[in-house]
């Protein structure tokens, strides 16, 4: 039986917008219910999460691929976009954190100790990034966008997070320095200046190394789409994604009273499942802090990080359908499955040890002025370097793109 191409074209718009409309309706309905039963701000954060999912998907703003491109090819476009994101974030965050309030609401940063657990945890997390195929935000938005392999990574990310909470107290008994915040030590103005100098130095270094390898900087891919269609369907410029992520993290600070985080929810989900099947995590040191004990005894829908994570996945689902790229492939090679399992376990375990992931420790940590965020970045980058070396054991093909010949 023949198919009429004209009829297919007529059906395409309806099928293209049906799922995104359902996903966005679910976000709005969920936000209203959470607002009624828990708090209005928590409900609004589900909408912020959905917007984060759209931005992450349409801008393809991944940390893992950007770091791998720099390690293997000295291509720094992704790293420079991260520096733009961090620069805008500190400009927004530091004055609010210095004042201790934002729009009349008390706010505080994610500032954590600097110790053995952070260095080891971040290194393990960085290694897991390359084996698992994504970071915390990358795992969420690619899984929500229909990447079947990343669902495996996400599942074992959760398992690794629970194991990390079981060992958390022992790791925290190891040597560590007290938390240090640039905002507190130097003040918002000087802290901003110091941070901007470091961001500029990192960006300049990527430029020098990239030009040294390739002779010129990589240009952003050309997109043959009118402006409105591109913003709706993607792909977005990386810098646009960087700006949007900084603004949405600032919105999170305003609504939640603290910056954006992801992985604490994975530990919570896994712990609740473990208790449901008869386990008991309440005696583990991690769950004996007042905030974590309260989260464990409450509904997951009262947990800000959970609500935002659900929003991210729904936002990415909508974006993937708008882009016409939602096509789950369950034909996953065994070696790739093994890498997803190992990578997921490392991501979850490492995030608990290091007080967060690429979002909670790196992005939000540095935006909070926390020196542990910088230590996290260095240790995680080292882990990525090892992960890149190990990737050929699990993935076929040449690592990364083939560098272009240097022009005279």
Which residues are paired to 106 by β-bridges?
101
CA distance 352 to 281: 15
179 φ, ψ to 5°?
Answer: -60, 140
Cβ atoms of 98 and 253 closer than 8 Å:
no
Contact 123, 382 (CB under 8 A): yes
Rg (CA), the chain: 21
| CB proximity list for 67: less than 8 A, separation 6 or greater | 78, 79, 129, 381, 384
CA distance 128 to 341: 9
Domain contains 199? yes
Provide the pLDDT for residue 15.
Answer: 67
Provide the domain count of the chain.
Answer: 1
**pLDDT averaged per 10 residues in sequence order, the chain, 408 residues:** 40 72 96 96 97 95 94 96 98 97 94 96 97 92 91 96 97 94 96 98 97 92 79 90 98 97 97 95 94 94 96 95 87 95 98 96 97 97 97 72 37
pLDDT at residue 11 in the model:
41
Residue 100 DSSP SS3: coil
Is 408 domain-assigned? no
Q: Does a structural domain hold residue 294?
A: yes
**What does the DSSP 8-state code read for residue 259?**
-
Supply the DSSP symbol for 323: T
Domain-located, residue 407: no
Cβ proximity of 153 and 340 under 8 Å: yes
Query: Is position 229 within any domain?
Result: yes
Neighbour tally for 218: CB within 10 Å:
16
- What is the rounded distance in angstroms from the CA atom of residue 140 to the CA atom of residue 217? 30
Q: Please state, in angstroms and rounded to a whole number, the distance separating the CA atoms of residues 125 and 127.
A: 5
> What is residue 123's predicted lDDT score, i.e. its pLDDT?
98
How is residue 61 written in tokens? Answer: 């703003």
User: What is the pLDDT, as a whole number, of residue 293?
Assistant: 95
DSSP class of 375: H
Could you tell me how many residues make up the chain? 408
Give me the phi and psi of 177, to 5 degrees please.
-95, 155
Q: Given this model, what pLDDT does residue 233 score?
A: 85
The answer to whether residue 27 sits within a structural domain is yes
For the CA atoms of 109, 254, 259, 172, the dihedral, rounded to the nearest 10 degrees, stands at 50
- Domain, as residue range, for 90: 18-393
Q: Could you please report the per-residue DSSP string of 19-39? A: HHHHHHHHHHHHHHHHHHHT-
Establish if 144 belongs to a structural domain: yes
Q: Is residue 404 part of a domain?
A: no
């Amino acid at each position: 039986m023949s198919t009429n191409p004209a009829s297919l074209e007529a059906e395409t718009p309806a099928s293209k917008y049906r799922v995104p409309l359902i996903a966005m309706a679910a976000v709005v309905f969920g936000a209203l219910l959470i607002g009624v039963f828990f708090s209005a701000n928590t409900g609004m954060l589900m909408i912020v999460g959905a917007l984060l999912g759209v931005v992450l998907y349409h801008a393809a703003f991944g940390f893992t691929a950007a770091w791998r491109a720099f390690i293997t090819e000295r291509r720094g476009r992704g790293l420079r976009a991260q520096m733009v994101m961090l620069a805008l974030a500190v400009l927004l965050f530091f004055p609010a954190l210095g004042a201790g309030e934002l729009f009349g609401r008390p706010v505080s940063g994610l500032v954590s100790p600097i110790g053995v657990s952070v260095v080891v945890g971040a290194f393990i997390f960085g290694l897991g990034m390359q084996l698992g195929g994504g970071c915390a935000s990358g795992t969420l938005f690619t899984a929500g966008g229909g990447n079947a392999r990343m669902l495996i990574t996400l599942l074992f990310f959760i398992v690794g997070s629970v194991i990390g909470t079981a060992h958390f107290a022992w790791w925290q008994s190891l040597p560590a320095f007290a938390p240090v915040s640039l905002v507190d030590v130097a003040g918002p103005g000087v802290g901003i200046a110091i941070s901007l100098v470091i961001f500029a130095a990192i960006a300049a270094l990527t430029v020098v190394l990239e030009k040294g390898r390739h002779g010129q900087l990589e240009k952003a891919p050309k997109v043959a789409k009118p402006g409105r269609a591109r913003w709706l369907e993607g792909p977005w410029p990386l810098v646009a994604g960087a700006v949007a992520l900084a603004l949405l993290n600032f919105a999170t600070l305003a609504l939640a009273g603290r910056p954006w985080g992801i992985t604490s929810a994975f530990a919570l989900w896994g712990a609740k499942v473990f208790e449901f099947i008869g386990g008991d995590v309440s005696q583990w040191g991690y769950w004996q802090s007042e905030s974590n004990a309260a989260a464990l005894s409450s509904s997951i829908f009262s947990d800000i990080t959970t609500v935002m994570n659900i929003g991210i996945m729904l936002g990415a689902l909508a974006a993937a359908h708008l882009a016409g790229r939602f096509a789950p492939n369950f034909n996953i090679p065994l070696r790739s499955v093994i890498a997803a399992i190992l990578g997921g376990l490392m991501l979850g375990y490492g995030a608990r040890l290091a007080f967060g992931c690429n979002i909670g420790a790196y992005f939000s940590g540095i935006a909070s002025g926390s020196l542990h965020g910088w230590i996290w970045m260095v240790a995680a980058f080292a882990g990525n370097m090892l992960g890149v070396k190990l990737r050929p054991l699990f993935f076929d093909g040449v690592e990364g793109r083939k560098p272009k010949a240097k022009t005279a």
